[in-house]
Structure 1
Amino acid sequence: MKGDINKIRELLLAQRQEILSKIQTKSEEEEVTASNRGDYVDIATDGLAHELSYMFEEREKEKLRLIDETLENIEQGTYGECMECGDEIEFERLLALPFAKLCLDCKSREERRSKIPIG
């Protein structure tokens, strides 16, 4: 599975670079927009655009955090290990969801438990 993990590592590094580029581009676009303010309608529109940009950036930063955490797990040799049972997470699952921390069985149990009404 080592070669497979290297494949995932390369995909994560590429995603990381893409996210950093997107954040940089958005930041540069905001600087240009801020310097071209016009009337009140433009300012209000800019405010909405800024809010959407902020939400986008926060989502991208969360993805970066997950990518960095996953890359750290790869470096430590703990990547692909279920945090619940310690078994190996299926490679197909990791390919589809590189940030998966639970094997399919443990994830299914977790979801069933969360659907049980308390009280």
Structure 2
Amino acid sequence: MEGQPSMDNQQLEDAKQRLLQMRQEVIQDVQGAYAACRELGQDGVPDIGDMSATTYSRDVLFNLSETQQRKLRDIDAALDRLANGEYAICVRCEEEIPPKRMDVRPFSRYCVDCKTEVEKFGE
């Protein structure tokens, strides 16, 4: 069944709504983290402990931001595949990604076998 997902229109619409909700949550998480980081530096003259906490918080925010940006790119790519009729199709082997995997990770690009190979050997 190469290149043809077995999802019906309602399932595809549900997937789209779920991806859009996930996208909004990622954006809110990043905005919340930025707001919290800004608040750390607004207590007047910082002491060494404050500066250390602020530096640590910025490092955490940077890592969170990188992770969230990657997730946002994955979600946007899934929305593009959905719009192009390629949702739930592995971008590597072009076989259908099982519905259970798409339920767990709706922005999956790979089937389980290809994901394992990509993690071992790279794309």
Q: Which structure is higher in helix share? A: 1
In structure 2, what is the equivalent of residue 97 of structure 1?
105
2:42 maps to which of 29, 35, 51: 35
**How far apart are the structure 1 equivalents of 2:52 and 2:60?**
13
If asked which structure has higher relative contact order (CA below 8 Å, sep 6+), I would say: 2
Q: Identity of aligned pairs, percent? A: 27
Letter of the structure 2 residue corresponding to residue 27 of structure 1: Y
8 A contact 2:19–2:75 mirrored in 1: yes
TM-score (norm 1): 0.80
Distance 2:96 2:107 in 1: 14
The size of the alignment, in residue pairs, is: 113
Shift of 1:39: 0.7
The runs of 5 or more residues in structure 1 that have no matched partner are none
Residue 20 of structure 2: aligned partner:
13
Distance 1:23 1:92, change over 3 A: same
Aligned to 1:26: 33
SS at match of 1:82: coil
In the TM superposition, residue 60 of structure 1 has moved relative to its aligned partner by 0.9
C-alpha distance in 1, partners of 2:76/2:27? Answer: 12
Taking structure 2 as the reference length, what is the TM-score of the superposition?
Answer: 0.78
State the distance in 1 between where 2:90 and 2:42 align: 50
For residues 105 and 33 of structure 1, the distance between their equivalents in structure 2, rounded to whole angstroms, comes to 45
Shift of the 85–15 alpha-carbon distance from structure 1 to 2, 3 Å rule, reads same
5+ residue gaps in structure 2? 1-6
